[in-house]
Structure 1
Amino acid sequence: MNVTTDIMTAADGTRIALKRMGPAAGGNRTVLMLHGLFSSAQMNWVKFGHAALLAEHGFECIMPDWRVHGDSEGPTDPALYSPGVLVRDALQIVEVLGLDDYDLVGFSLGARTAASAVIAGLSPRRLVLGGMGIEGLSNWQERSAFFVDMIDRFDSIERGDPAFMAKSFMKGQGIDPVAARLLLTQGVEDIAMDDLAKITMPTLVLIGDDDRDNGSPEKLRDALPDATLAVVPGNHMGSVTKKDMGRAILEFLS
């Protein structure tokens, strides 16, 4: 299936690319899909067939590229990265598109943002939190420190350095290091554990069998009012490349 691209202008003027695949809404279910850090809608949802699988089963997939990522703008003005900026972008996408009866799927940073956006007021029918454990919701400064250090040492990192793979992935995705550093250090907020009680819709915690990058998925499942856990093959980077992930999302949303 073909992917189309629309452009939404965020409240602060940043241009956000919205990828679409599948039958247009109107009797069909809409699913908003949020990608991970340094990735894109193309990389997380299109390349490995997850969006196509959902579209083949009647879903309209709406897949934004976060600011700094994919085909969206990556401004380098610090004023455009106040805390919670990605959550505000997600809320605006839902408002501008007039989404009402929809599902919400996120992977890694996208899962974190999806949880924050629900706490801030989004009400999807069902929610999928991929590549996420409970510790990943509340220790952003510690989790992001690895990537900030990688950016600060960007030009000196060589093969064999623990940060080499992250540097190579970020470079391959065309991410602006200056904009990425602003997003990492200013744009993301921690989630208060008490607020997880506000995530009341049926939720799937979806994790790779070798993925504990963001902590315990079991503890995240247990902290949510109505959550189940599904395990697919792979580590944090690899699980999203497996067909199993798309099939698990489809089964839960169906």
Structure 2
Amino acid sequence: MPSFNSDGTDIAYLDEGEGEPILLIHGFASNKDVNWVHTGWVDLLVKAGRRVVAIDNRGHGHSGKIHDPEAYGAPIMAEDARRLLDHLGIREADVMGYSMGARITAFLALNHPDRVRRAIFGGLGYGMVTGVGDPEPIAQALEAVSIEEVSDPVGRSFRKFADQTKSDRLSLAACMRSSRQKISQEDVARISVPVLVAVGTRDEISGSAQKLADLMQNARVLDIPRRDHMLAVGDKVYKEGVLEFLGETE
């Protein structure tokens, strides 16, 4: 498993295929394999002639585990992504993030606009601006000794997912408490690269995809029919829409 040092934290990644690069950034409590390999995304994009790079965000997957909330935050994780591009000698890439990964992608596009050619915000709409709920019940659920102690339904679902992915729960709790920085409407409006906002029609977490897209000068929406936040990521409509978007904006 290749990795590199990002300002003192070991960051794991995969790098497959040849062609125009695309960087994939996974969601909270997931990892590059669960989000992108097991769902078929890496294979699909490699077969489409792309060089596919996928990162394990700090605290996730095979990357370094840190229990201090100050070590996280979407802007900090965006710098990990930028350093990965530096490490691989990639000057500019398409970037697709899902959920927390979409927020990280937005900060990467804002802080390093010359590094992002096109962006796909999967699983996150206007919640990027308003926030997506109180992180504390989720953090407490992750810190609980047993899932049987967790009564909050949202916290319980994240705890179950973290257990399934065999994650470091204390790292995830620290990440949850600091990764949901809101982005102002004014800053979203500064994102000038082509953007695809792809959200499941049954996603009750992300917020309105259209309302987010309307803030940007060069954004469009992809509705993923009959999919919620957890199921949309591997959906066929999502995959076809992304390939179409990348092809149209060559």
Q: Same fold judged by TM-score > 0.5?
A: yes
Work out which of the residue numbers 177, 195, 198 in structure 1 matches 2:169.
177
Give the length in aligned residue pairs: 244
In structure 1, runs of 5+ residues without a counterpart are none
Residue 216 of structure 1 corresponds to which residue in structure 2? 208
Residue 10 of structure 1 corresponds to which residue in structure 2? 6
Q: TM-score, normalised by structure 2?
A: 0.89
Q: Relative to structure 1, is the Cα distance of residues 179 and 246 closer, same or farther in structure 2, using a 3 angstrom cutoff?
A: same
Equivalent residues of 1:119, 1:195 under 8 A apart: yes
Give the CA deviation at 1:212.
3.1
Question: Aligned letter for 1:20?
Answer: D
Superposed counterparts of 1:44-55, under 5 Å: 44-55=35-46
Residue 112 of structure 1 corresponds to which residue in structure 2? 103
Equivalent residues of 2:127, 2:208 under 8 A apart: yes
Runs of 4+ residues deviating >6 angstroms: none
Give the CA deviation at 1:91.
2.0
Equivalent residues of 2:73, 2:181 under 8 A apart: no
Instruction: Give the Cα separation in 2 of the matches to 1:158 and 1:70.
Output: 25
Question: Aligned letter for 2:3?
Answer: I
1:204 corresponds to 2:196: yes
1:247 corresponds to 2:243: no
Give the CA deviation at 1:221.
0.8
Q: Please tell me the root mean square deviation across aligned C-alpha atoms, in Å.
A: 2.1
Residue 83 of structure 2 corresponds to which residue in structure 1? 92
Give the CA deviation at 1:20.
2.0
Question: Aligned letter for 2:164?
Answer: G
Equivalent residues of 2:74, 2:107 under 8 A apart: no
Instruction: Give the Cα separation in 1 of the matches to 2:244 and 2:30.
Output: 24
Give the CA deviation at 1:83.
7.0
Instruction: Give the Cα separation in 1 of the matches to 2:229 and 2:120.
Output: 16
Identical aligned pairs, as a percentage?
Answer: 28
1:131 corresponds to 2:123: yes
Equivalent residues of 2:147, 2:160 under 8 A apart: no
Give the CA deviation at 1:63.
0.2
Q: TM-score, normalised by structure 1?
A: 0.88
- Bigger drift between 85-94 and 227-236 goes to 85-94
In structure 2, runs of 5+ residues without a counterpart are none
Give the SS at the match of 1:148: helix
